[in-house]
Structure 1
């Protein structure tokens, strides 16, 4: 199951949600402004992010800028409290599954949410007998040839 952290008015959040729906991916949506993020949940997000706070906190957000502090100035406890009081400092969307963690919307990166076994099936299904092969199959061939 995927947990999708969103906020109202976020275009990237809408894209991510639509992508998940279009790809029949089951998810739970959590609006960061109407759902209180628990301390353990925030700590889990921080642990899962590759670069910790840098991946999750928007230091360019107005709420963070007004603090006049660096991310390094915060203890984990202070950071958790800050996120709970000011969820707008989180980058969005945040998508997390058992094996994947994606922050922001990126057409390529979001595909990591698709289980590996399904990616293999999809790759094998694209062959010359497919009606869309002249379009997508040729694109794949060209990109594979360019990589070699």
Structure 2
């Protein structure tokens, strides 16, 4: 079963969840604000994804802009970035899907189609 990490009020998360349901893919849901990802979970997702850590930041979010992270991330260590992501679920890009062997960040229908 897929792990679907979301913020339920997010329109992209709603679209992604509907897409998974339309594909008939079962998933367990996790509310990223009520049940934040801890640093170890984030590190594991990041390593499994093969993506740059920057892709895990919700760059269009208010919190990201408020903290002026666009200018600060490049100077931060990986450990500092993971600590920051773990501090607030709203900083994390969503949805995140985790399977046994991959992690998808954001919603791209073509990537979701490959989960079937």
What secondary structure is seen at the aligned counterpart in 2 of 1:48?
Answer: helix
> 1:55-92 CA deviation, whole Å, 9 max, x = no partner?
21123422122223432222233222211222212111
CA separation in 2, counterparts of 1:65 and 1:104? 18
Is the radius of gyration larger for structure 1 or structure 2? 1
What secondary structure is seen at the aligned counterpart in 2 of 1:108?
Answer: helix
User: TM-score w.r.t. structure 1 length?
Assistant: 0.67
Structure 2 partner of 1:19: 19
Structure 2 partner of 1:45: 45
Structure 1 partner of 2:78: 76
> 1:8-31 CA deviation, whole Å, 9 max, x = no partner?
211111122122222221211111
Displacement of 1:7 in angstroms is 0.2
Runs of 4+ more than 6 Å apart: none
Q: Which runs of 5+ in 2 are unaligned?
A: none
CA separation in 2, counterparts of 1:77 and 1:19? 34
What secondary structure is seen at the aligned counterpart in 1 of 2:109?
Answer: coil
CA contact (8 A) 2:58 2:94 kept: no
Structure 2 partner of 1:88: 90
Q: What's the Cα RMSD here?
A: 1.8
Structure 2 partner of 1:32: 32
CA contact (8 A) 1:100 1:113 kept: no
User: TM-score w.r.t. structure 2 length?
Assistant: 0.83
CA separation in 1, counterparts of 2:92 and 2:42? 10
Q: Which runs of 5+ in 1 are unaligned?
A: 115-148
1:1-148 aligned within 5 A: 1-68=1-68, 69-114=71-116
Instruction: State the aligned residue count.
Output: 114
